[in-house]
Structure 1
Amino acid sequence: MAHATLDNVLGALRNVDFPADKTELLEAARSAGASGEVMAALRGIPPETYTNREDIARSVRTDPDTDLGHSPAQRGEQARQGGKPGLSQHLREVPKTPIEEEMDR
């Protein structure tokens, strides 16, 4: 199954006037001809009022492998640490592994 990328979701919402609620976001995406994957990602966001694109990016669930280069260890660390309700797991802060810290030196 294909997944929506964050770029696809935000691209479908480029003409949205903020603040906007979930219903307005879905209508804007539908008007822009968004794919079924994008519409499904937007249907999964909490029913809140969004003030900007960053709010949407924090709430929309996309496939983490399409947008970020996190390793399985980093994704596991995200899952263990938890985060703000409604925040997509792959957008949470992830500490570097000891090996990555060593490689950066």
Structure 2
Amino acid sequence: MAFADAREIKEILGDLAFPASKERIVEHAHDRRPEGEAEHALLSLPLGTYDSVAEVVRSVPLDPDPGRTPSERDHQRRHHEKPGLGEHLRHTERSPFEEELDRGDEV
């Protein structure tokens, strides 16, 4: 299942006239950002007509913590110690690569 960022959904659908069908919403997202995460998440919308962007955002699967890096997500999936705790709430250690990148141009 694809997850999307709520801000991205709102940005993509900001100029769409509502009410709109699922097909029209997905078509509009494809025109704005083809093959993006938002489009893939919008494909999972239930069939129907939506009255506003807020209604779409409530119906689409959202990433609970869009600030995580891919390596943090992978690490949390592999090393969770607390069953039942949401993935975005689990503690993760930074990879050596991320630490090195954060140091910038230090030599």
Pair 1:18-2:15 in alignment? no
For structure 2, the residue ranges without an aligned partner over 5 or more in a row are 68-81, 87-107
Q: Which amino acid aligns with 2:30?
A: R
For structure 1, the residue ranges without an aligned partner over 5 or more in a row are 76-105
SS in 2 for 1:64: coil
In the alignment, what sits opposite 1:51? 51
2:6 and 2:34 mapped to 1: Cα distance?
13
Post-superposition Cα deviations, 1:27-71, rounded to whole Å, max 9, x if no partner, equal 11112125521111000111110001111111010111228xxxx
TM-score normalized by the length of structure 2: 0.56
Q: Residue 3 of structure 1 contacts residue 62 of structure 1 at CA under 8 Å; is this kept in 2?
A: yes
Q: Residue 22 of structure 1 contacts residue 48 of structure 1 at CA under 8 Å; is this kept in 2?
A: yes
In the alignment, what sits opposite 2:100? none
TM-score normalized by the length of structure 1: 0.57
Higher helix share: 1
Q: Residue 3 of structure 2 contacts residue 61 of structure 2 at CA under 8 Å; is this kept in 1?
A: no
Q: Which amino acid aligns with 1:47?
A: L
Larger radius of gyration: 2
Aligned length: 71
Q: CA RMSD in A?
A: 2.6
SS in 2 for 1:15: coil
In the alignment, what sits opposite 1:4? 4
* Percent identity of equivalent pairs: 31
Q: How is 1:84-99 mapped onto 2 (pairs within 5 angstroms)?
A: none
Pair 1:27-2:27 in alignment? yes
